[in-house]
């Protein structure tokens, strides 16, 4: 394999056969390597797929992309009434709408990556069965498209923050915190999308799984409800750190401690690496089972 | 096959592909049952099937090879392996140059994307850059005769338009090796002639073509040589006329 030969050959005819790209096709090893070079080589495809994901979603809808704003805001109103006003869930000294919306913005990104990413390989069966490029681009492009929803969510949150006159405490922390939830969700959706090709049980399990994941994340309640001695366990879920940290960064709630950072970061790395390995392991069979 | 000094664009050695019949999409407990050893070896054997086995051939650069065979003889599996869509179980294949695939009528289009975006996607799959793709876009559109439908999602295309665009994309992007599987059978006679003329043009430019077709006329007019597949193995390799005769007498009428 001479992957480097590809860009050099642009536009060239095959007459100079010796210098062209040579591809060796062999039975896959049981655990193929990461082959990140291949991933990088085809990177342009990812953006085309991500753009398609966004275009398709709001086509044939009345209000179009406004859904990305309407959804979090209406959820915020409902949850504020039931959890904030009626159930009086503690909100770390900030107004419940701010508390909830700051968690929801992160959660909606995770939820989109989980739901759409995990079904993405099966949903693209026509492409999988006809052409070759790294299949990891299906879940990855969903994750990239989720950043657009995140942006809309951040706009809604900014409006609510301004309404309550709350100033962010640390904008610099936001990108790494969001990256942790993003990468963890991508890791999970890589494994699930691969398993889903053979066992469609995953599609059936997804709504349940998404709900469960939301309940073990501090979206509607603060992590301080979890007893102190076992709280580090709670942060095995990287989304927990992401939300707690994000809430701290935008609204000044107590910051997650070093142990939480450590546990969540390790857990994210684990989810991502295992997710990609599982994906690579099953990738050669995709065309045969979707 | 004789050894020549010409570089082979495609060479296939002892290639085999085994499918699991029925169990591939099966429920988890089937698999668990197998893992726990409740299934005998004989049973497992019955559930696998070799789509192709021990297939070897070479295609010199600039040649058109016909792949003949009945439905289910393994032609499409062979093409899919060469396109890297599916992985072989044993043996190996080597391709020299960029491989463009038109596998069955579906091709590699995404139904929700417009014609224009699908051209872009197909080019990127081949490893072409955006500018390189845009430089051939007009030729593609003109050949495909899709005109104002260019910016409509391809799911709204008629099957004829779909096919014309699919062929046009494969025939103008920078593939060095073209895999064409049955796709021409769907178009009308005029378009088929146009496609054949374009294939000849490409071969003149040094491209290599693997051509699967049931049309003896198309094979006769386009191909330099042929292989005949039957039940997953190669029964004949050689001259196109001889191959067609062999296929008619030994395979179809037997």
Q: What is the 3-state secondary structure (H, E, C) of A44-92?
A: HHHHHHHHHHHHHHHCCCCCHHHHHHHHHHHHHHHHHHHHHHHCCCCCC
Q: Which chain A residue lies closest to B76 (C-alpha atoms)? A: A130
> How far is residue B11 from each of residues A25, A276, B182, measured CA to CA in Å?
10, 32, 21
Tokens of A281: 């392991």
Closest CA to A110 of A231, A256, A219: A219
Burial class from Cβ neighbours inside 10 Å (0-12, 13-18, 19+) for residue A4 reads: exposed
Q: Which chain A residue lies closest to B51 (C-alpha atoms)? A: A288
Distance CA A85, CA A75 (A): 14
Which pLDDT belongs to residue B241?
A: 93
> How far is residue B213 from each of residues B179, B183, B237, measured CA to CA in Å?
11, 8, 16
Cβ atoms of residues A106 and A248 within 8 Å: no
Mean of all residue pLDDT scores within chain A: 87
Tokens of A35: 């082959």
Nearest to B61 among A17, A48, A198 (CB): A17
How many CB atoms lie under 10 A from the CB of residue B49? 13
> Are A45 and B125 inside 8 Å of each other by CB?
yes
Which pLDDT belongs to residue A17?
A: 41
Range B12-18 average pLDDT: 94
Each residue's pLDDT tens digit, B84-129: 999 999 999 999 998 988 886 556 788 888 899 889 888 888 878 8
Rounded to the nearest 5°, which phi and psi values hold at A235? Answer: -85, 5
Range A182-210 average pLDDT: 95
Q: What percent of chain B has pLDDT over 90?
A: 48
Mean of all residue pLDDT scores within chain B: 84
Which of B11, B28, B110, B139 to mutate to probe the A interface, most A CBs <10 Å? B110
Nearest to B206 among A14, A130, A133 (CB): A14
Question: Could you tell me which residue, A263 or B37, shows the higher pLDDT?
Answer: A263
B52-63 burial, b at 16+ Cβ within 10 Å, e below that, comes to bbebebbbbbbb
Cβ atoms of residues B175 and B126 within 8 Å: yes
Each residue's pLDDT tens digit, B203-235: 999 999 999 988 888 899 899 999 999 999 999
Please say if the pLDDT value at position A81 is more than 50: yes
Range B57-74 average pLDDT: 93
Each residue's pLDDT tens digit, B22-52: 654 444 555 555 455 544 444 555 678 899 9
Where residue B3 falls among pLDDT bands split at 50, 70, 90?
A: very low
Where residue A114 falls among pLDDT bands split at 50, 70, 90?
A: very high
B64-68 and B225-230 strand pairing: parallel
Q: What angle do CA A154, A111, A244 make, to 5 degrees?
A: 60
Contacts of A122 (CB under 8 A, 6+ apart): A193, A196, A197, A200, A203, A290
Q: What angle do CA A280, A286, A288 make, to 5 degrees?
A: 140
Closest CA to B102 of B40, B162, B167: B167
Range A167-184 average pLDDT: 95
Find tokens 């969700």 and name the residue: A185
Range B147-170 average pLDDT: 88
> Are B97 and A42 inside 8 Å of each other by CB?
no
> How far is residue A18 from each of residues A11, B95, B173, B177, B210, measured CA to CA in Å?
15, 12, 20, 14, 20
Virtual CA dihedral for A86, A88, A89, A92, nearest 10 degrees? Answer: 140
Q: Does B170 touch chain A (CB under 8 A)?
A: no
Please say if the pLDDT value at position A70 is more than 90: no
Cβ atoms of residues B185 and B216 within 8 Å: no
Distance CA A129, CA B103 (A): 9
Contacts of A104 (CB under 8 A, 6+ apart): A72, A75, A76, A79, A153, A219
> Are B98 and A11 inside 8 Å of each other by CB?
no
Please say if the pLDDT value at position A241 is more than 60: yes
Closest CA to B98 of B128, B57, B63, B130: B128
Q: What percent of chain A has pLDDT over 90?
A: 59
Each residue's pLDDT tens digit, A156-172: 999 999 999 999 999 99
Please say if the pLDDT value at position B65 is more than 80: yes
Which pLDDT belongs to residue B125?
A: 83
Q: Which chain B residue lies closest to A5 (C-alpha atoms)? A: B97
Distance CA A141, CA A46 (A): 5
Which pLDDT belongs to residue A15?
A: 40
Distance CA A38, CA A283 (A): 14
Range A234-261 average pLDDT: 95
> Are A42 and B127 inside 8 Å of each other by CB?
yes
Among A61-75, A183-197, B192-206, top mean pLDDT goes to A183-197
Where residue A60 falls among pLDDT bands split at 50, 70, 90?
A: low
Rounded to the nearest 5°, which phi and psi values hold at A44? Answer: -60, -30
Low-confidence winner among A29-38, A60-69, A134-143 (lowest mean pLDDT): A60-69
Range B155-180 average pLDDT: 88
ipTM: 0.80
Q: Which long-range contacts (CB under 8 A, 24 or more apart) does B110-113 make?
A: B110/A52, B110/A124, B110/A126, B110/A127, B110/B154, B111/A126, B111/B153, B111/B154, B111/B155, B112/A52, B112/A55, B112/A56, B112/B153, B112/B155, B113/A48, B113/A52, B113/B153, B113/B154
Among A65-69, A104-108, B115-119, top mean pLDDT goes to A104-108
Nearest to B125 among A18, A55, A131 (CB): A131
Q: Does B169 touch chain A (CB under 8 A)?
A: no
> Are B132 and A45 inside 8 Å of each other by CB?
no
Question: Could you tell me which residue, A16 or B59, shows the higher pLDDT?
Answer: B59
């Amino acid at each position: 394999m001479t992957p480097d030969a590809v860009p050099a050959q642009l536009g060239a005819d095959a007459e100079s056969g010796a210098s062209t790209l040579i591809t060796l096709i062999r039975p896959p090893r049981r655990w193929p390597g990461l082959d990140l070079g291949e991933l990088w080589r085809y990177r342009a495809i990812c953006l085309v797929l991500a753009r398609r994901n966004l275009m398709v979603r709001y086509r044939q809808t009345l209000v179009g992309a406004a859904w990305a704003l309407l959804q979090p805001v209406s959820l915020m109103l409902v949850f504020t009434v039931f959890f904030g006003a009626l159930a009086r869930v503690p909100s770390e000294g900030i107004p419940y709408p701010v508390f909830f919306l700051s968690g929801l913005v992160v959660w909606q990104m995770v939820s989109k990556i989980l739901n759409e990413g995990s079904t993405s390989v099966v949903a693209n069966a026509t492409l999988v069965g006809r052409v070759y490029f790294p299949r990891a681009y299906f879940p990855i492009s969903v994750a990239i498209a989720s950043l657009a929803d995140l942006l809309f969510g951040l706009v809604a949150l900014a409006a609510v923050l301004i309404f309550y006159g709350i100033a962010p405490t640390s904008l610099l922390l936001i990108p790494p915190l969001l990256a942790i939830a993003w990468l963890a969700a991508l890791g999970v959706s890589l494994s699930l999308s691969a398993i889903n090709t053979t066992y469609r049980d995953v599609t059936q399990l997804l709504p349940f799984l998404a709900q469960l994941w939301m309940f073990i994340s501090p979206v509607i309640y603060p992590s301080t409800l979890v007893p102190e001695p076992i709280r580090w366990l709670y942060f095995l879920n990287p989304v927990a750190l992401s939300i707690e940290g994000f809430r701290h960064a935008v609204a000044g709630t107590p910051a997650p401690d070093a142990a939480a950072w450590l546990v969540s970061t390790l857990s994210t790395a684990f989810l991502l690496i295992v997710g990609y390995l599982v994906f690579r392991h099953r990738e050669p069979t995709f065309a045969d089972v979707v | 096959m004789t050894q020549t000094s010409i570089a082979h664009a495609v060479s296939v050695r002892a290639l085999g592909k085994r499918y699991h019949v029925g169990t591939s999409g099966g429920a988890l407990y089937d698999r668990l049952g197998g893992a726990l050893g409740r299934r005998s070896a004989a049973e497992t054997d019955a559930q696998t099937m070799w789509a192709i086995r021990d297939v070897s051939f070479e295609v010199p650069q600039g040649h058109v090879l016909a792949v003949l065979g009945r439905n289910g003889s393994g032609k499409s599996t062979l093409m899919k392996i060469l396109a890297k869509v599916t992985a072989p179980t044993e043996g190996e294949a080597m391709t020299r140059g960029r491989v463009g695939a038109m596998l069955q009528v579906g091709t590699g289009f995404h139904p929700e994307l417009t014609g224009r975006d699908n051209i872009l996607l197909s080019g990127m799959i081949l490893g072409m850059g955006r500018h390189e793709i845009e430089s051939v876009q007009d030729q593609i559109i003109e050949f495909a005769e899709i005109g104002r439908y260019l910016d409509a999602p391809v799911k709204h295309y008629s099957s004829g338009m779909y096919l014309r665009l699919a062929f046009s994309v494969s025939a103008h992007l920078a593939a060095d090796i073209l895999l064409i599987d049955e796709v021409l059978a769907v178009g009308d006679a005029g378009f088929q002639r146009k496609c054949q003329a374009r294939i000849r043009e490409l071969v003149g430019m040094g491209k290599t073509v693997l051509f699967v077709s049931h049309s003896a006329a198309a094979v006769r007019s386009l191909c330099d040589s042929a292989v005949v597949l039957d039940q997953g193995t190669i029964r004949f390799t050689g001259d196109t006329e001889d191959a067609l005769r062999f296929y008619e007498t030994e395979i179809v009428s037997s």
